[in-house]
Structure 1
């Protein structure tokens, strides 16, 4: 039992470090995308698909949003929105354009791009 508790704690810690690392990398490489993520992910009751996710948010010529084909719609908690968009941002090339699928069966597409 102790080993599984330690393993769970280690996995949680490594996930937190990775999320923090993605946030730092995103801020360093794409500050306007990072700012847009902060505003866009501030919605506490976001579901995908939705008009809100499709509309997204732009800052400094960069856009973030979440497109989706989920049926029924899936809730996206703020912390997931932030960490997943920061991951997409951190892995984006110089222009900031990137996308990655999340959610059940990959029905949510988190997107960053030049507006």
Structure 2
């Protein structure tokens, strides 16, 4: 994106645009797998909200959910898939491009004001 009229907008991933989904995938990108309770606490959301978020990301193929037991207690773990890593990288690159364009536009406006 060069900031010229007619340029294509950056390729933000619609599935990662929501803050909970972005926070979750960013966290998962830094680890192999995380337990449901850890993700819930990190994102600061309810069990229901995290469950819906994981389901949505699993449906898109960005996240893999694994269920099992730790002793007799049921547990759920989540991990970012290869396509999830790619989607996150592309989304973050698009956000960086938007920020860089805004900084350039702001610098140009400041230069015009200084003249």
Q: Provide TM-score, normalisation by structure 1.
A: 0.25
Q: Give the structure with the higher percent strand.
A: 1
Give the structure, 1 or 2, with the largest relative contact order (CA under 8 Å, sep 6 or more): 2
Give 1 or 2 for the bigger CA radius of gyration: 2
Q: Give the structure with the higher percent helix.
A: 2
